[in-house]
Structure 1
């Protein structure tokens, strides 16, 4: 691969490839193999393990991507590009320019780049991805953020025994505290996850995640992906758990046209 080719593909291999989450071992997948504008991109178990073009099933093309001539990351199944909408990855049809430009409906597609060294996929925007209305005072806070792609863990539903265990544990840890009028301790992410308040995994702020929030033990097949906007990435990475780092790491595997030659 030449330097020019590597630059044009932004770290991704030329041609077709699959994108695997290190944390969940699932592939980036166009939901239900749909082609409608706004279709969500999620993580799904691998549908075809072959990396040779002639051996792969066309039904697995919704897990295959490529970089087009404009530099956009695209789905092979439909040819449509990927966009970011409310921190979610979605399929995006090319839209005509509408004024005032850019806006949430009509804007330049984000560019995606991959670092084989860190394993991270970075998203690059040419304007504020929140697309505030023209009447809003202009802010450049978005330019100080690093936007990276991350998988979101999913806990299995809590059963009756789990709730009973949490209740007994809390009663033993703080006996009679309620009747004594003791002040309630400050809630932690771990405490929130052990109560009956069920927050969606993607509603928990990255900086508030603890070990409990990083557990991924749900039998569900799918997982969500989100684009994270991190202000001080170097500091955040120093404090991040290894499980958190793995959720931001990806393995890119190129689809070969023919079997590799041996001998």
Structure 2
């Protein structure tokens, strides 16, 4: 690893955009806000040009850079990116407050980009849950923290509900005579009344149905996954799940690649 690579932690020097392979959306500061705690999400690309002079300033909230300490920063505000309850958020630098570290005041996480795997990992100096009292086990140190996009299903419609009702009405009587299996389908399990959001599904338990990403909404969420055994997790991943952990980082150029102007 060269000195230049170490200084940028795998990211290109200067400004760059970060694209989710799974959703083809860019990392984006919500509403171009500058307030502390503003969530970083995925949003459709605002400007396709990678040449600085051709880009709209309104697209700067989709541009990031890595500082010398390894902190990922938003260009539009200059603030760093922190992890709060597994979400990416803007974070102002804060003064030390005791007991240190705590949720309010702590060292910013470092971000690393692996150009081969396309994964972005996060490294912490302290337990990212910042418990009131230090944990003796230090189990958090053995986890691998990886960024992933979260799929979003389209809302259920009246037609969906009616179709499910009719299917249940026909299947239930038949099951009394052993003519139909009462076992729920993956779709029924996924669409059950249990109020679990897409970003709350345990990665290892996310089935094929939960990988469907067909919502018409522009926004998608980003979450940090805490993997107890990344090697085993990688072996069990399907292609869709793997792509949700893959990112394309593209640097912005000061000149046109073809003309040099």
> Normalization by structure 1: what TM-score?
0.91
CA distance in 2, matches of 1:172, 1:142: 50
Equivalent residues in 2 for 1:104-143 (5 A)?
104-134=103-133, 137-143=135-141
**C-alpha spacing 1:257/1:151, structure 2 compared with 1 (3 Å):** same
Deviations 1:103-125 (A, max 9, x none): 11111100000011101000001
* C-alpha separation in 2, matches of 1:137 and 1:150: 26
Distance 2:231 2:60 in 1: 36
- Tell me how far apart the structure 2 counterparts of residues 255 and 35 of structure 1 sit (CA, whole Å): 22
Indicate the SS of the match to 1:138.
Answer: coil
Instruction: State the distance in 2 between where 1:7 and 1:122 align.
Output: 14
- 1:230 aligns with one of 218, 227, 230: 227
Regions of 4+ moved over 2 Å: 136-139, 164-180, 187-192, 194-199
Residue 18 of structure 1 aligns to a residue whose secondary structure is strand
Matching of residues 86-105 of structure 1 within 5 Å:
86-105=85-104
Give the total of aligned pairs: 258
**Distance change >3 Å, CA 147–CA 164, structure 1 → 2:** same
Q: Any residues of structure 2 matched to 1:1-263 within 5 Å, and which?
A: 3-134=2-133, 137-173=135-171, 175=173, 177=175, 190-261=187-258
Q: CA deviation at 1:70?
A: 2.1
Work out the CA distance in 2 between the residues paired with 1:113 and 1:139. 25
Moved more, 69-78 or 36-45: 69-78
Residues 1:148 and 1:139: Cα distance change in structure 2 (over 3 Å): same
Root-mean-square deviation (Å): 2.3
The C-alpha deviation readout for 1:35-63, integer Å capped at 9, x for no partner, is: 00100000000001000001011111000
What is the TM-score normalised by the length of structure 2?
0.92
Q: In the aligned structure 1, how far is the partner of 2:149 from the partner of 2:210? A: 13
Describe the superposition over 1:39-96 as per-residue Cα deviations: whole angstroms up to 9, x where unpaired.
0000000001000001011111000000112221100000000000000000000000
